[in-house]
């Protein structure tokens, strides 16, 4: 299981990459993409929408399932990875490159794990 | 090949009479400019095209169809013949009342009979399908609470084993959904229900027998808990086939109900519809039923409109011809035939279950109702054979697979509903197929991943279909 | 009598024995005794087929089948080619369930795929679903799918069929959207009022083409203003008229809906009918209901499947935007067969005849004092005044086997003429009306 050390993680299997103190990108982890199977569509918010930590900001669709994407952060959506609209398979192919949203004006965040803690957390999930 | 590839420009059929009045053109500003096309086909080729398509379609008469929760019973031919009478098909929905007395009689008589079967006091035939009926029934509940100025009742309780339409309908009706967990026996967890039912509860949606095929023996306690909290009880009639003529939902504490005439009352499914999802209710909810409602006034049938109605849920009066078929079925079965059909549906299901359960563990033990749910969790773990693999293998035996992966609370679920119209011989043959497939699952599991082998196509790539949807014919996709 | 059970009493007993029971009622051990039906249903005993047939036939015989029908208003009597009924009666099409198992449902799936293509062509849109219940629910679903967090108002023209408006109202009682009606002016939507009503809170505008009075709306004039407010334009249209009239796609509609009954379905006292629904590509994933897509099987052969299912209730549950499950698939099949039988030129001829005959009747009626109420372009319906008591006029026609136009007020009648009506029938109508006058 690929867990890059430079990222932070949530128990709902999102990753967070801080670009600055108030801006970060969010995606889903290798564990999540594998559990979801072939992703066929990603529903994402629009630029300017606000997101709230621990609340859904979108969802991923596989053929027979829908899973919420939970925001690790509170803030405003400043960018959306439009490429995923046409090529959702990129999430399966390289989930750490396939960021979903960029959040700016971060006002709060849920408790995040580092890579080591997330790896340990995954062990408890088995 | 599609009609569009078979199309031969210049081909067509002479169908209409010549124009016998002066030609008049549509005002030019409104005339269509954009290109469009339809297939150009001679009748002979068109007719053959559809015969080909029919051959590639599995209907109830092509073989066993134990699709759980869908009640794929035989569709009697007399029903079709009667619904095709010109005295029904040629009637305009806005004809004067005196010229549609027969249509209203059909609606009125079907309502009387279905109320007697369900223990309801009135019924509307407007809803066109089960989900449409759910939406309508939930709006009755909403209108009822609003009429009492009880505005805080915004929550609908839905068991986690419910059909997906239940929470979706509640959401469309503007309610928030509270999921009620099932207990170890697959029935409603009473403690969880007690904890959830409160002054914000608008109602509970329940199907009984439930989606795991069990009759919830706590039913009277369940409906009482909801009533005592001030909520109403909604009965999802998808599984009425097990209990019609045996017990009435109205006597189990339900206030609103929808039926699926296309399941319980033998009308065909048409490849997905039309169905008919009449909504029945107790006295105190009648004022809220959709307008209009057929009644008898001074020995004449008439329409009644209520000021408190939730309004229409569609144009006109519902899928009328489907009601004609259901009425023919009810008249045929009558007072003994209805419970007899129910009991035999339950008998057929238990017979199959008994003959399968040593190999295929049921999700819950005990007698089932008209359907049962098997879990292939163990087989999946041990041999890598999934519910999907078993289902696809059944196709090679000419059997339509059971419902797969539902209810959601059962892992690797197969939900089997034989219905009462299947003979012992058909059930025995199906049992044999299930058992042979099981033996293959143990000895050569990989063989099942490749099933089906005998159908016109193999397993389709559903991921590709959803990632890059092609939902209309275009020459470049061929 | 019968209950369509094929097992004999002996076989049933043997089956019970296999289960380990002796009596059928033991199967219901979980049903509380206190609520078991004790003395049977209060229904008549079951009847043989002949007797059932007699009873239902006697009901059918109490209805009046009019020889000539000049009434439309949402349900239209058109010519239905013989092949249509014969093809759609094939028992596989009639009795199959929703095609969940693609491998044994390629026929149904392909027929829906072809239907979706024809509807997309006819409406000039990109994608159609496999059908919804009827034209009214199609409009209501369309309004619902336009709802966004900050856009919760629907502007509905008063010239939309009244029953469609009522249905939308009911759906909005559920989903909480607000409806604002735009008034009628001279037989069409008051576009000035519509323009003023547009604002950022408006999710969508619904117009009907031709409208309830048969008149054509000047959609092109108002469309830019609608889209300037990021509102969606929904056009409810008559599918036969689309063979002549500018299509919703051409008018830049975001959603096209309509009642598909004119496409080969009989009047049937209002149902089963067919709601069709088509959208521009960007809204495809918001369409409610079943959608069939083309893909390949494991060996690379073309295959059809139900697709985009993650939108639907059985997966999305309370988050689904629509709860629709069963639809009107068999009616969609009927429409597809009808459209293929007619072909483009046949449908154009049909629409052209409807319009020409309506024009003829309108002129003839005018000559005897039934004056057109609106001076607008129309398709095959129009409103006239009625120089006498409406009810007695219609009764007189009924006595001669004619269903006259629909009375829409004390002195106005909404007439409809389709290709089925001959010049002779129209002349006879005029004669009867004239006689009454004298």
Instruction: Mark yes or no for CB contact A41/C310 under 8 Å.
Output: yes
Q: How far is CA B211 from CA B182, B257, B271, B331, B364, in A?
A: 11, 16, 22, 29, 11
Q: Does residue B185 have a pLDDT over 90?
A: no
Query: What is the per-residue DSSP string for C273-286?
Result: --EEEEE-GGGGGG
Instruction: Mark yes or no for CB contact C328/B247 under 8 Å.
Output: no
The whole-angstrom separation of Cα C13 and Cα B410 is: 32
pLDDT score of B474: 93
Instruction: Mark yes or no for CB contact C137/B105 under 8 Å.
Output: no
Question: Cα distance from A58 to chain C (closest Cα, Å)?
Answer: 12
Nearest to B13 by CA among B55, B59, B50, B44: B44
Query: What is the per-residue DSSP string for A75-103?
Result: EEEEEE-THHHH-THHHHH-TTT---EEE
Residues B294 and B375 in one domain: no
Q: How far is CA B460 from CA A61, B271, B402, C105, in A?
A: 18, 19, 18, 12
Q: Which pLDDT tens digits describe chain C residue by residue (438 residues)?
A: 578 999 999 999 999 999 999 999 999 999 999 999 999 999 999 999 999 999 999 999 999 999 999 999 999 999 999 999 999 999 999 999 999 999 999 999 999 999 999 999 999 999 999 999 999 999 999 999 999 989 999 999 999 999 999 999 999 999 999 999 999 999 999 999 999 999 999 999 999 999 999 999 999 999 999 999 999 999 999 999 999 999 999 999 999 999 999 999 999 999 999 999 999 999 999 999 999 999 999 999 999 999 999 888 888 888 888 999 999 999 999 999 999 999 999 999 999 999 999 999 999 999 999 999 999 999 999 999 999 999 999 999 999 999 999 999 999 999 999 999 999 999 999 999 998 765
Residues B366 and B434 in one domain: yes
Any domain includes A126: no
Any domain includes B291: yes
pLDDT score of C436: 75
pLDDT score of B186: 87
- pLDDT band at residue B464 under the 50/70/90 scheme: very high
Token duo for residue B109: 């008589």
β-sheet with B256-258: strand ranges across? B122-124, B279-281, B256-258, B232-236, B201-206, B155-159, B176-180
Q: What residues of B are in contact with residue C269 (Cβ under 8 Å)?
A: 88, 91-93, 100, 103, 316-317, 320-321
Residues B291 and B203 in one domain: yes
Nearest to C255 by CA among C228, C222, C284: C284
Q: What residues of C are in contact with residue A63 (Cβ under 8 Å)?
A: 309-310
Largest Cα separation within chain A, whole Å, is 38
CATH number at residue B402: 3.90.1150.10
Residues B390 and B281 in one domain: no
Alpha helices in B173-289 (DSSP H): 190-196, 219-228
pLDDT score of C437: 65
> Which of 276-295 (C) contact A at CB < 8 A?
285
Instruction: Mark yes or no for CB contact C295/B465 under 8 Å.
Output: yes
The answer for residues whose C-beta is within 8 angstroms of residue B137's C-beta and 6 or more apart is: B234, B256, B257, B258, B279, B281
CATH number at residue A68: 2.40.50.100
The torsion angles phi and psi of C349, rounded to 5 degrees, stand at -60, -45
CA-based nearest residue in chain A for residue C305: A63
Question: Cα distance from B276 to chain A (closest Cα, Å)?
Answer: 27
Domain final residue, candidates B270, B299, B332: B332
Mean pLDDT of the region B68-96: 97
User: Which of C285, C309, C319 minimises the CB distance to A63?
Assistant: C309
Any domain includes B30: no
Cis peptide before C136 (omega within 30 of 0): no
The whole-angstrom separation of Cα C425 and Cα B11 is: 31
Any domain includes B123: yes
Any domain includes A26: yes
CATH number at residue B286: 3.40.640.10
Provide the angle, in degrees to the nearest 10, between the axes of the packed helices C329-367 and C106-123: 30
Question: Which of A33, A36, A64 to probe the B interface (max B CBs under 10 A)?
Answer: A64
Domain final residue, candidates B332, B365, B397: B332
Burial class (CB in 10 A: 0-12, 13-18, 19+), A35: middle
Instruction: Mark yes or no for CB contact C319/A41 under 8 Å.
Output: no
Any domain includes B471: no
The answer for residues whose C-beta is within 8 angstroms of residue B27's C-beta and 6 or more apart is: C216, C377
Any domain includes B150: yes
Give tens-digit pLDDT for A44-84: 999 999 999 999 999 999 988 899 999 999 999 999 999 99
Instruction: Mark yes or no for CB contact A89/B467 under 8 Å.
Output: yes
> Which of 392-411 (B) contact A at CB < 8 A?
405
Nearest to B240 by CA among B214, B221, B255, B259: B259
Q: Give the rounded distance of the alpha carbon of B86 from its chain centre.
A: 27
Residues B95 and B149 in one domain: yes
Instruction: Mark yes or no for CB contact B34/C247 under 8 Å.
Output: yes
Neighbors of chain A with 3 or more C-beta pairs under 8 Å = B, C
Mean pLDDT of the region B442-457: 96
Q: CB of B417 within 8 A of CB of C97?
A: no
Question: Which of A38, A61, A62, A93 to probe the B interface (max B CBs under 10 A)?
Answer: A38
Any domain includes A118: no
Q: What residues of B are in contact with residue C176 (Cβ under 8 Å)?
A: 174
Query: What is the per-residue DSSP string for C178-245?
Result: EEEEEPEETTEE-HHHHHHH--TTEEEEEEEES-TTSBPP-HHHHHHHHHHTTPEEEEEE-TTGGGTB
pLDDT score of C312: 87
Q: Does residue B47 have a pLDDT over 80?
A: yes
Instruction: Mark yes or no for CB contact C41/B245 under 8 Å.
Output: yes
Residues B212 and B320 in one domain: yes
The whole-angstrom separation of Cα B187 and Cα B181 is: 9
Mean pLDDT of chain B: 96
Any domain includes B367: yes
Residues B427 and B305 in one domain: no
User: Which of B39, B80, B367 minimises the CB distance to C27?
Assistant: B367
Residues B272 and B397 in one domain: no
Residues B275 and B387 in one domain: no
Question: 């323009």: which residue's tokens?
Answer: C195
Question: Cα distance from A42 to chain C (closest Cα, Å)?
Answer: 11
Give tens-digit pLDDT for B120-174: 999 999 999 999 999 999 999 999 999 999 999 999 999 998 999 999 999 999 9
- What's the total number of domains in chain B? 2
Nearest to A36 by CA among A58, A62, A70: A62
Give tens-digit pLDDT for B331-362: 999 999 999 999 999 999 999 999 999 999 99
Give tens-digit pLDDT for B362-410: 999 889 999 999 999 999 999 999 999 999 999 999 999 999 999 888 9
Q: CB of A52 within 8 A of CB of A109?
A: no
Q: How many CA atoms does the CB half-sphere of A111 hold within 13 Å? A: 3
Token duo for residue C99: 């095609």
Could you tell me the pTM of the whole model? Answer: 0.96
Any domain includes B468: no
Residues B368 and B317 in one domain: no
Note down the domain range covering A102: 9-111
The whole-angstrom separation of Cα B424 and Cα C16 is: 11
Residues B327 and B379 in one domain: no
Q: Is the dihedral of CA C286, C290, C291, C295 positive or negative?
A: positive
Q: What residues of A are in contact with residue B462 (Cβ under 8 Å)?
A: 63
Question: Which of B168, B466, B471 to probe the A interface (max A CBs under 10 A)?
Answer: B466
Domain final residue, candidates B332, B367, B399: B332
Chain A contact for C23 (CB, 8 A cutoff): no
- pLDDT band at residue B436 under the 50/70/90 scheme: very high
The torsion angles phi and psi of C436, rounded to 5 degrees, stand at -60, -30
Q: Which domains does chain C have, with CATH numbers?
A: 68-78+343-437 (3.90.1150.10), 82-338 (3.40.640.10)
Note down the domain range covering B431: 334-455
Any domain includes A94: yes
The answer for residues whose C-beta is within 8 angstroms of residue B173's C-beta and 6 or more apart is: B135, B138, B139, B141, B142, B156, C174
The whole-angstrom separation of Cα B369 and Cα B392 is: 25
- pLDDT band at residue B260 under the 50/70/90 scheme: very high
Residues B102 and B172 in one domain: yes
Question: Cα distance from B114 to chain A (closest Cα, Å)?
Answer: 36
Any domain includes A19: yes
- pLDDT band at residue B230 under the 50/70/90 scheme: very high
Q: CB of C355 within 8 A of CB of B26?
A: yes
pLDDT score of B189: 96
Dihedral angle, C-alpha C7, C10, C14, C17, nearest 10 ° = 120
Any domain includes B473: no
The whole-angstrom separation of Cα C416 and Cα C422 is: 13
3-state helix, strand, coil in chain B (%, to 5): 40, 10, 45
Q: How far is CA A113 from CA A9, A31, A70, B135, C302, in A?
A: 5, 15, 15, 44, 47
Instruction: Mark yes or no for CB contact A63/B466 under 8 Å.
Output: yes
User: Which of C62, C292, C328 minimises the CB distance to B274?
Assistant: C328
- What's the total number of domains in chain A? 1
The whole-angstrom separation of Cα B434 and Cα C158 is: 59
Token duo for residue B177: 């959904």
Token duo for residue B443: 């000895």
Neighbors of chain B with 3 or more C-beta pairs under 8 Å = A, C
């Amino acid at each position: 299981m690929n867990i890059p050390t430079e990222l932070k993680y949530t128990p709902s299997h999102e990753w967070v990459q801080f670009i600055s103190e108030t801006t970060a990108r969010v995606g889903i982890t290798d564990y999540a993409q594998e559990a979801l199977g072939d992703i066929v569509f990603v529903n994402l918010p629009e630029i300017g929408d606000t997101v709230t930590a621990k609340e859904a900001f979108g969802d991923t669709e596989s053929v027979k399932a829908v899973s919420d994407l939970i925001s690790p952060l509170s803030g405003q959506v400043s960018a959306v990875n439009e490429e995923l609209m046409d090529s959702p398979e990129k999430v399966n192919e390289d989930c750490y490159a396939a960021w979903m949203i960029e959040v700016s004006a971060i006002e709060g965040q849920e408790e995040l794990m580092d890579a080591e803690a997330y790896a340990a957390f995954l062990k408890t999930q088995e | 090949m599609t009609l569009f590839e078979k199309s031969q420009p210049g081909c067509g059929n002479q169908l209409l009479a010549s124009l016998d009045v002066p030609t008049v053109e549509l005002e030019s500003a409104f005339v269509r400019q954009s290109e469009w096309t339809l297939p150009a086909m001679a009748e002979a080729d068109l007719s053959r095209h559809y015969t080909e398509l029919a051959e590639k379609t599995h209907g109830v008469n092509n073989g066993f169809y134990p699709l759980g929760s869908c009640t794929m019973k035989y569709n009697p031919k007399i029903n079709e013949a009667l619904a095709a009478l010109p005295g029904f098909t040629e009637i305009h929905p806005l004809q004067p009342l005196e010229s549609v007395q027969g249509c209203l009689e059909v609606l009125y008589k079907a309502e009387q009979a279905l109320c007697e079967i369900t223990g309801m006091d009135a019924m509307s035939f407007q809803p066109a399908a089960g989900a449409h009926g759910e939406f309508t029934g939930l709006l009755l509940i909403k209108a009822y609470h609003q009429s009492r100025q009880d505005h805080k009742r915004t929550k609908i309780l839905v068991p986690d084993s419910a059909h997906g339409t239940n929470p979706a309908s509640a959401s469309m009706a503007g309610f928030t959904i509270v999921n009620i967990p099932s207990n170890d026996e697959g029935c409603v967890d009473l403690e969880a229900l007690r904890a959830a039912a409160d002054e914000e509860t608008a109602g509970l949606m329940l199907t009984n027998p439930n989606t795991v095929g069990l009759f919830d023996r706590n039913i009277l306690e369940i409906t009482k808990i909801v009533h005592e909290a001030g909520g109403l009880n909604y009965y999802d009639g998808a599984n009425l086939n097990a209990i019609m003529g045996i017990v009435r939902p109205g006597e189990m504490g339900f206030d609103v109900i929808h039926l699926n005439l296309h399941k319980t009352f033998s009308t065909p499914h048409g490849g997905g519809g039309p169905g008919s999802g009449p909504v029945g209710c107790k006295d105190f909810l009648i004022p809220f039923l959709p307008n209009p409602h057929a009644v008898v006034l001074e020995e004449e049938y008439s329409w009644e409109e209520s000021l408190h109605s939730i309004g229409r849920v569609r144009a006109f009066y519902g899928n009328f011809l489907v009601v004609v078929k259901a009425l023919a079925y009810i008249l045929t079965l009558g007072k003994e035939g209805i419970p007899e059909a129910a009991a035999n549906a339950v008998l057929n299901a238990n017979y199959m279950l008994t003959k399968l359960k040593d190999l295929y563990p049921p999700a819950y033990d005990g007698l089932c109702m008209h359907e049962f749910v098997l879990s292939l969790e163990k087989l999946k773990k041990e041999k890598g054979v999934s519910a999907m693999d078993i289902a696809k293998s059944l196709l090679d035996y000419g059997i339509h697979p059971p419902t797969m992966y539902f209810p959601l609370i059962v892992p690797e679920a197969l939900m089997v509903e034989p219905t009462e119209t299947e003979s012992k011989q058909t059930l025995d043959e199906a049992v044999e197929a299930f058992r042979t497939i099981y033996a293959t699952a143990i000895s050569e599991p990989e063989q099942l991943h490749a099933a089906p082998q005998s159908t016109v196509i193999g397993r389709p790539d559903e991921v590709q279909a959803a990632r890059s949807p092609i939902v209309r014919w275009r020459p470049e996709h061929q | 009598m019968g209950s369509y059970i094929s097992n004999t009493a002996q076989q049933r007993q043997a089956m019970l024995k296999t289960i380990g029971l002796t009596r059928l009622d033991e199967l219901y051990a979980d049903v509380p005794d206190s609520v078991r039906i004790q003395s049977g249903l209060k229904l008549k005993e079951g009847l043989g087929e002949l007797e059932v047939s007699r009873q239902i036939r006697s009901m059918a015989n109490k209805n009046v089948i009019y020889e000539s029908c000049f009434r439309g208003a949402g349900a239209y009597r058109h010519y239905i080619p013989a092949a249509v009924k014969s093809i759609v009666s094939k028992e596989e099409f009639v009795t199959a369930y929703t095609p969940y198992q693609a491998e044994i449902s390629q026929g149904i799936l392909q027929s829906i795929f072809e239907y979706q293509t024809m509807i997309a062509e006819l409406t000039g849109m990109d994608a159609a679903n496999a059908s919804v219940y009827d034209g009214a629910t199609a409009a209501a679903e369309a309004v619902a799918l336009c709802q966004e967090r900050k856009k919760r108002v629907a502007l509905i023209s008063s010239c939309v069929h009244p029953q469609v408006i009522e249905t939308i109202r009911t759906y909005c009682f559920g989903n909480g959207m607000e409806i604002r009606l735009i008034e009628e002016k001279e037989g069409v939507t008051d576009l000035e009022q519509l323009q003023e009503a547009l604002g950022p809170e408006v999710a969508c505008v619904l117009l009907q083409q031709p409208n309830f009075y048969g008149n054509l709306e000047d959609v092109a004039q108002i469309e830019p203003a609608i889209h300037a407010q990021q509102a969606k334009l929904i056009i409810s249209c008559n599918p036969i008229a689309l063979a002549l009239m500018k299509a919703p796609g051409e008018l830049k509609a975001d959603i096209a809906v309509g009642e598909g009954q004119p496409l080969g379905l009989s009047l049937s006292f209002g149902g089963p009918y067919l709601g069709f629904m088509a959208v521009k590509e960007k809204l495809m994933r918001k369409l409610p209901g079943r959608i069939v897509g083309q893909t390949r099987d494991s060996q690379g052969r073309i295959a059809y499947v139900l697709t985009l299912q993650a939108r639907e209730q059985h997966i999305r549950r309370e988050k689904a935007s629509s709860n629709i499950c069963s639809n009107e698939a068999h009616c969609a099949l009927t429409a597809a067969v009808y459209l293929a039988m007619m072909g483009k030129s046949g449908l154009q001829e049909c629409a052209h005849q409807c319009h020409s005959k309506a024009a003829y009747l309108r002129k003839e009626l005018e000559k005897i004092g039934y004056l057109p109420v609106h001076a607008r372009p129309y398709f095959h319906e129009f409103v006239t005044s009625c120089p006498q008591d409406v009810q007695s006029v219609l009764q007189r026609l009924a006595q001669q086997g004619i269903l006259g136009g629909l009375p829409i007020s004390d002195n106005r009648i909404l007439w409809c003429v389709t290709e089925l009506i001959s010049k002779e029938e129209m002349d006879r109508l005029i004669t009867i009306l004239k006689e009454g006058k004298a």
